[in-house]
Chain A
Amino acid sequence: MSYKFFPHTDDEMRAMLNTAGVKSLDDLYQDVPQELQLKKEYELPEAMSEIEVRRFFDGLGMGNITMRTFLGAGYYDHYSPAVVQDILKRSEFLTAYTPYQAEISQGTLMYIFEYQSMMAELTGMEVSNASMYDGTTATAEAMMMAVANAKKRNRVLVSETISPYVLRVIKTYAKFHGIQIDMVPANDGVMCHNCLKAELEKEDVAGVIVATPNFYGILEDYTGVADLCHEHKALLIMHCVATALSVVKTPAEWGADIAVGDGQSLGIPLNYGGPYVGFLCTTKKLIRKMPGRIVGATKDADGKRAFVLTLQAREQHIRREKATSNICSNQSLMALYVTIYMGLMGAKGLKEVNEISYSNAHYLAEGLVKTGLFEMAYPDKPFLNEFAVKTKLDIDKLQEYCNEEYLQCGLKIADDTLLIAVTETYSREDCDDLIDACVTFNEEQEGK
């Protein structure tokens, strides 16, 4: 036997079997009852050489169409600096486990500390955990954290303006965790504050989940919401788009207790849905209720500054069923991704990203409205780089048409409504192409 991933020569194998006190590899399974052993070959393809593996994926890749995308809905095609991908390939980072042995894991521990620092800055919150799977599950964790904190309350209110993709996940967690979710209605694309007040006054709410920017791209005004929640002993959880936080009012400034969301917008490639990185930041007061890993600064035996996993007594390997969460890892490599990204971009770069995205999005919105084929769904509401438009066009057919032009025109969120996002990756010409495609599509439709 001689394969590239199995270094055992026949001679070595004989010697090792001898030491192990058995005659054959089969004997190593003498404790497994015969009737439980697999007696057939796997019905899988034969081993492929590297050339064949490449050809296989090249072939499948032809079934995909990568396009200029005006799709957002929480996941954005932002610029990703070459440095990030390159450093992520360093196998000392890539092939390490969770940093249990701190003495030989200072690399991982240090970048997680940087990550926590940067996410705390971005959200304005005091502390951050070491990252979570993604934005949807981070929101679910925040919801459970609010319920655990409230002790005897199990109702959580969720604004209707939150992403449906987040909502469907937290609903699943809630169903099994025994949490009652009730929606706070929205008017004209923003949460109804009076409706929230009425629900809070029932004095049984553990937490309230709102979004900034919200699913429609709108920057909602949350003045007074945090005070209202706290008056009624509920935590305010704010779901955010990470990149936007460098310029828009932060969860901390709104008075939120927990900030969550997906870090994908910090330059992570779309990658068909993952891996991304979830963030969860909170106040120092709630740090011991926080799920997930946390890295802290300390000193080593020589008094040198060093970093270590800390507050582990909250975690599953110690507390088992009483842990704050079942999470026993973080999305470490993706946390490194956004850390390097933020290191390169700095506050100034992030602001520029938002400025260009803002300008492009407003240029596109105005251009689309000018065609007469679209109108703004929420005309008087402020937005950053994502907006909803209403149209009489057949959106399904428009999407098909645009796909043929290697364009994705946005997400259909109602029969007559399209959600469109623009980032700094795209230019004025790209926006013009989309506008032209809509006009041509309409002409072709009318010509029929």
Chain B
Amino acid sequence: MSKIIDGLYYSESHEYVKVEGDFGFIGITDYAQHELGNVVYVDMPEVDDEVTAGEEFGAVESVKAASDLMCPVSGTVVEVNEALEDEPGLINKDAFENWIIKVELSDKSELDNLMDAAAYKAMIGE
């Protein structure tokens, strides 16, 4: 049974957005980290990079798998979670606590295209 947090926005490709004011914290869901196994590397964009909803912004690698990170929303990267560079396994410990990038949202209406916790829960069949 994966952890799902109410109040976050979820994408079909298993990313979440946690919104605080004009900013969104983006990471992968607990379900996704579980499917992937031990994360050994997170490929992240750089601060000031522009990201676009539906486009790739990085990748998460485990030993035997790799998954592209698809951006659920558009905006400018204002911070990347540098702790993941040294300890990518933090994602396995708590995927929601350990977000990957912080983005200044350029179009909040994009959030309407994402799922809420209940819809995401239904999608992953739990």
Residues of A within 8 A of B (CB): 288, 312-314, 318-319, 322
Chain A proximity mask over B45-73: 1 for CB below 8 Å, otherwise 0: 00000000000000001111110100000
Q: Is the CB of B43 within 8 A of A318?
A: no
The smallest beta-carbon distance between A84 and chain B, in angstroms, is 34
Chain A proximity mask over B1-25: 1 for CB below 8 Å, otherwise 0: 0000000000000000000000000
* Distance A288 CA – B66 CA, assembled complex (angstroms): 12
The smallest beta-carbon distance between A308 and chain B, in angstroms, is 10
Q: Which residue of B lies closest to A320 (CB)?
A: B66
* Distance A153 CA – B75 CA, assembled complex (angstroms): 22
20 A-B pairs with C-beta separation under 8 A: A288-B41, A288-B43, A312-B63, A312-B64, A313-B40, A313-B41, A313-B61, A313-B62, A313-B63, A313-B64, A313-B65, A313-B66, A314-B61, A314-B66, A318-B64, A318-B65, A318-B66, A319-B66, A322-B66, A322-B68
Q: Which residue of B lies closest to A310 (CB)?
A: B63
Number of A-B contacts (CB under 8 A): 20
Task: Point out the residues of chain B lying under 8 angstroms from A288, CB to CB.
Answer: 41, 43
* Distance A318 CA – B62 CA, assembled complex (angstroms): 11
**Residues of B in contact with A, size category:** 10 to 19
Residues of B within 8 A of A (CB): 40-41, 43, 61-66, 68
Task: Point out the residues of chain A lying under 8 angstroms from B65, CB to CB.
Answer: 313, 318
The smallest beta-carbon distance between B76 and chain A, in angstroms, is 16
* Distance A361 CA – B121 CA, assembled complex (angstroms): 74
Nearest first, the 9 closest Cβ-Cβ pairs linking A and B are A313-B61, A313-B66, A319-B66, A318-B66, A318-B65, A288-B41, A313-B65, A318-B64, A313-B62
Task: Point out the residues of chain B lying under 8 angstroms from A313, CB to CB.
Answer: 40-41, 61-66
* Distance A1 CA – B65 CA, assembled complex (angstroms): 47
The smallest beta-carbon distance between A32 and chain B, in angstroms, is 35
The smallest beta-carbon distance between B67 and chain A, in angstroms, is 9
Task: Point out the residues of chain B lying under 8 angstroms from A318, CB to CB.
Answer: 64-66
* Distance A288 CA – B40 CA, assembled complex (angstroms): 12
* Distance A313 CA – B64 CA, assembled complex (angstroms): 6
Q: Which residue of A lies closest to B49 (CB)?
A: A151
The smallest beta-carbon distance between B81 and chain A, in angstroms, is 17
Given contacts A313-B65, A314-B61, A314-B66, 7 further A-B contacts (CB under 8 A): A288-B43, A312-B64, A313-B62, A313-B66, A318-B64, A318-B66, A322-B66
The smallest beta-carbon distance between A286 and chain B, in angstroms, is 12
The smallest beta-carbon distance between A52 and chain B, in angstroms, is 49
The smallest beta-carbon distance between A59 and chain B, in angstroms, is 51
* Distance A319 CA – B65 CA, assembled complex (angstroms): 8
* Distance A442 CA – B110 CA, assembled complex (angstroms): 82
* Distance A313 CA – B40 CA, assembled complex (angstroms): 10
The smallest beta-carbon distance between A109 and chain B, in angstroms, is 16
Task: Point out the residues of chain A lying under 8 angstroms from B64, CB to CB.
Answer: 312-313, 318
The smallest beta-carbon distance between B47 and chain A, in angstroms, is 15
The smallest beta-carbon distance between B44 and chain A, in angstroms, is 12
Task: Point out the residues of chain A lying under 8 angstroms from B68, CB to CB.
Answer: 322
* Distance A312 CA – B40 CA, assembled complex (angstroms): 11
* Distance A319 CA – B56 CA, assembled complex (angstroms): 14
* Distance A322 CA – B62 CA, assembled complex (angstroms): 15
* Distance A404 CA – B63 CA, assembled complex (angstroms): 59
Task: Point out the residues of chain A lying under 8 angstroms from B43, CB to CB.
Answer: 288
* Distance A314 CA – B43 CA, assembled complex (angstroms): 11
